[in-house]
Amino acid sequence: MKFDTPAGQNPIDQLKHVGKPIDRIDGKYKTTGTAPYAYERHDVVANPAYGYVVGAAVAKGRISRIDLAAAKAAPGVLTIVTAESAGPLGKGNFNTAKLLGGPEIDHYHQAVALVVAETFEQARAAAALIVIDYARTAGRFDLEKELKDAPLYSEKGKPPVTKIGDFDAAFGSAPVKLDATYTTPDHSHAMMEPHATTAKWDGDKVTLYTSNQMIAWSKGDVAKTLGIPKDNVRLVSPYVGGGFGGKLFIRADVILAALGAKAAGRPVKVTLTRPMMINNTTHRPATIQRIRIGASADGKITAIAHESGSGDLPGGGPETAVSQTRLLYAGANRLTSMRLAVLDLPEGNAMRAPGEAPGLMALEIAMDEMAEKLGMDPIAFRVANDTQVDPEKPERRFSQRQLVQCLEQGAERFGWKQRSAKPAQRRDGQWLVGMGVAAGFRNSMAMKSAARVALDKKGIVTVSTDMTDIGTGTYTIIAQTAAEMMGVDVAKVVVQLGDSDHPVSAGSGGQWGANNATAGVYAACVKLREAIAQKLGFNSADVTFADGKVRSGNRSVALTEAAGDAGLVAEDAIEYGTLSKTYQQSTFAGHFVEAAVHSLTGEVRIRRMLAVCAAGRILNPKSARSQVIGAMTMGAGAALMEELAVDTRFGFFVNHDLAGYEVPVHADIPHQDVIFLDEVDPTSSPMKAKGVGELGLCGVGAAIANAIYNASGVRVRDYPVTLDKHIAHLPPVA
């Protein structure tokens, strides 16, 4: 199905199932421990062996000697895989470093061996017996140092610096201006389920039960890495225990499980330990961001510049922290640029809302600082600089843009009028209390997505697609879509996900999964509806599907009868035209935080949070709310505690476990609330939806930092905002 004109009225608009807060249909499996995660596929693999990954002990260098003798002789050991025994391997399109290192080492904890044994404990014990000598070489591990000589980054065919108007002249002549630098540290995805894979071979074909967000991408990369045809690779990932971008691509567990199973001649299970997850896989790169804003005395932005620097391994890419600044606020004179330093740290890559999440952590503090310089309320300053068009291309309007409504409704609900414009004025016993606000922004992306829909003689509708559920409620919203389109109850819909044998979907990432995957199901259902109408001799243009029946005029036929004994099957994909280029499709939020800072210790406590979101049609408000409050909690972690500590001598993340890398939980925040504005976007898809899972994170960190400033009067521009950064500057205690 080609989607190249705005959606008109369609069956989804009935909202009998779509838009309802239906309980997650997979919830019962997850809460009872019966959901089949990758490492627990006892139902499909008998008598598996266990693999244990050995990671490089240096960040840069070469293996000069590896002695496997003691490990091979250890009890239970079946085989040991190294780069030498594996033979030539390719590198996937989405991997920056090789997934099996040796003899050259690209980063600390790069996999260099897999020990396969009868039990996990035997594999782990034998791995400790491997002796490896390294020739260490000097590496680059200090972002601030390496950025001094780092080149400007440019995407293919695009200039390295984006300029609109004359920023330098406008900034120089602006009566009110800000020039500040902000930093965000390296972050870990820290998802609950580790990277894990169970591999089995049948002849020259491999099946990988793995934890992965993007099945089609990863199938291609497995084939390319192993040097086998794509048709010989099957990925199965029906349940994913969190990913946040860390499972967009295959990691060492996938390839080593396949190699280990081949060498051992039996199925092999591999999971990465928490330290391996943090240093072996990917992370959100640290940034150093400079923001300059010039404005007229009445608060209109006349000049805005955002320059960011980050680092990655050779061949990697930057953290695109300037992306939202190109679209979020008006201003005739603009400049954005990025620098990319080469670092020999573990690979940097996508983490929930790449670009906007760290970019807004800086930009939305800068907006508050500028508002204070102007003597304006922070919300009023943002509203004054709203735009309904792309500031770089005024001919492109936003398809929907309710940022002002998000901010104004949020202010009313949150009690913003009670905020003191002057910091450090409100006390509650020994606590200093303040409020903060920030805008949230995340683009909506159109991605081709396909599905297969079958109707059987019992009236059961089965949807099959390689789309994944990473804890976002995908099973449920796909079931709701099919139920709406086919006129059946949700209980009559079976959803099959996460199998590369199914049609290729958009996958889970970039906040594009829900809208595109359900649009693909919509397209397949339209084709199935047409097949049913044709079989019954109905005019497909005037049929209705409801209550398990199909009707046309005075005729009504049960779907069970329409299906017949053989049933009916249809497959289609949603394919997008130029609407996403004609219109700027984005999502918006207003984030509000009340925080308290202890006047004696500097300890920070978040008291309450509110997110007001405008993100197209909300397909399931219950699961969407869960996504947003989870994202808000993640934002609290980035603001207050999360930081991968880099050892700049030896090039690794020191706090590579959940004891040293702290993450927040919902219990850390007493009150969280979410409001979804009434919005549909007919330019986005037939679903008129967009996505909300990353929007809930974007802006949260800055809202917290701004609340801390309002409470204490101490401005911290270097995340996380830990007490050591402001305790010496807190107001004196009376």
Q: What angle do CA 11, 12, 17 make, to 5 degrees?
A: 115
pLDDT band at residue 158 using 50, 70 and 90 as cut-offs = confident
Exposed, middle or buried by CB within 10 Å (0-12, 13-18, 19+), for 400? buried
Is the separation of the CB atoms in 525 and 486 below 8 Å? yes
- Write the pLDDT tens digit of every residue in 573-612: 999 999 999 999 999 999 999 999 999 999 999 999 999 9
**Residues 6 or more apart whose Cβ sits within 8 Å of residue 135:** 61, 62, 63, 64
pLDDT band at residue 734 using 50, 70 and 90 as cut-offs = low
For the cut 70, the answer to whether the pLDDT of residue 309 exceeds it is yes
Is the separation of the CB atoms in 129 and 80 below 8 Å? no
**Span 252-273, mean pLDDT?**
98
Tokens matching residue 709: 């400033």
**Residues 6 or more apart whose Cβ sits within 8 Å of residue 579:** 3, 4, 5, 6, 399, 446, 585, 683, 684
Whole-number Å distance between alpha carbons of 483 and 468: 19
**Span 53-81, mean pLDDT?**
98
pLDDT reported for residue 248 = 98
For the cut 90, the answer to whether the pLDDT of residue 357 exceeds it is yes
Neighbours of 487 (CB within 10 A): 23
Whole-number Å distance between alpha carbons of 566 and 387: 55
Length of the chain: 734
Is the separation of the CB atoms in 311 and 348 below 8 Å? yes
Whole-number Å distance between alpha carbons of 695 and 60: 37
Tokens matching residue 699: 């802006």
Query: What mean pLDDT, rounded, does the chain reach?
Result: 97
DSSP assignment of 115-183 equals: EEESSHHHHHHHHTT-EEEEEE------HHHHHTTPPBP--TTS-SEEEES-HHHHHHH-SEEEEEEEE
- Residue among 356, 484, 594, 694 flagged as catalytic: 694
**Span 428-446, mean pLDDT?**
98
Neighbours of 316 (CB within 10 A): 19
Sole residue written with tokens 């080469």:
342
Alpha helix stretches (DSSP H) within 564-602: 579-582
Domains of the chain: 2-34+447-576 (3.30.365.10), 396-445+582-729 (3.30.365.10)
Whole-number Å distance between alpha carbons of 698 and 357: 5
pLDDT reported for residue 422 = 98
For the cut 80, the answer to whether the pLDDT of residue 377 exceeds it is yes
Whole-number Å distance between alpha carbons of 247 and 282: 9
- Write the pLDDT tens digit of every residue in 113-147: 999 999 999 999 999 999 999 999 999 999 999 99
Q: What angle do CA 716, 187, 611 make, to 5 degrees?
A: 65
pLDDT reported for residue 254 = 98
Instruction: Give whole-number Cα distances, 710 to 373, 653, 668, in Å.
Output: 14, 33, 21
Q: Residue 653 pairs with which residues in a beta bridge?
A: 646
Q: What angle do CA 141, 143, 148 make, to 5 degrees?
A: 120
Whole-number Å distance between alpha carbons of 291 and 365: 10
Of 41-45, 429-433, 454-458, 673-677, the least confident? 41-45
pLDDT band at residue 540 using 50, 70 and 90 as cut-offs = confident
Neighbours of 395 (CB within 10 A): 7
What is the torsional sign of CA 273, 275, 281, 284? Answer: positive
pLDDT band at residue 667 using 50, 70 and 90 as cut-offs = confident
Whole-number Å distance between alpha carbons of 605 and 118: 48
For the cut 90, the answer to whether the pLDDT of residue 390 exceeds it is yes
Sole residue written with tokens 């072996």:
280
Largest CA distance in the chain: 85
pLDDT reported for residue 195 = 98
| Distance, C-alpha 639 to centroid of its chain | 17
Whole-number Å distance between alpha carbons of 586 and 333: 22
- Write the pLDDT tens digit of every residue in 42-61: 999 999 999 999 999 999 99
Is the separation of the CB atoms in 515 and 449 below 8 Å? no
Edge-first strand listing for the sheet containing 431-443: 427-428, 431-443, 586-598, 604-614, 671-676
Whole-number Å distance between alpha carbons of 550 and 11: 13
Is the separation of the CB atoms in 473 and 533 below 8 Å? no
For the cut 90, the answer to whether the pLDDT of residue 156 exceeds it is no
**Span 340-347, mean pLDDT?**
98
pLDDT reported for residue 541 = 86
Q: Residue 588 pairs with which residues in a beta bridge?
A: 441, 614
* Percentage above 70 pLDDT, the chain: 100
**Span 180-194, mean pLDDT?**
98
**Span 266-293, mean pLDDT?**
98
Neighbours of 227 (CB within 10 A): 10
pLDDT reported for residue 576 = 98
**Residues 6 or more apart whose Cβ sits within 8 Å of residue 472:** 508, 513, 514, 623, 627, 693
Interhelix angle for 621-640 vs 356-374, to 10°? Answer: 70
**What end-to-end distance do the CA atoms of the chain give, in Å?**
69
The β-bridge relationship of strands 544-546 and 549-552 is antiparallel
Whole-number Å distance between alpha carbons of 173 and 295: 9
**Residues 6 or more apart whose Cβ sits within 8 Å of residue 630:** 666, 696
Q: Residue 494 pairs with which residues in a beta bridge?
A: 462
Is 694 designated active site?
Answer: yes
Whole-number Å distance between alpha carbons of 464 and 695: 28
**Span 237-253, mean pLDDT?**
97
pLDDT reported for residue 155 = 85
pLDDT reported for residue 335 = 98
Alpha helix stretches (DSSP H) within 427-552: 474-486, 513-536
Select from 419, 408, 411 the least CA-distant residue to 372. Answer: 419
For the cut 90, the answer to whether the pLDDT of residue 733 exceeds it is no
**Span 160-178, mean pLDDT?**
98
Exposed, middle or buried by CB within 10 Å (0-12, 13-18, 19+), for 298? exposed
Whole-number Å distance between alpha carbons of 476 and 62: 49
pLDDT reported for residue 46 = 92
Whole-number Å distance between alpha carbons of 197 and 211: 7
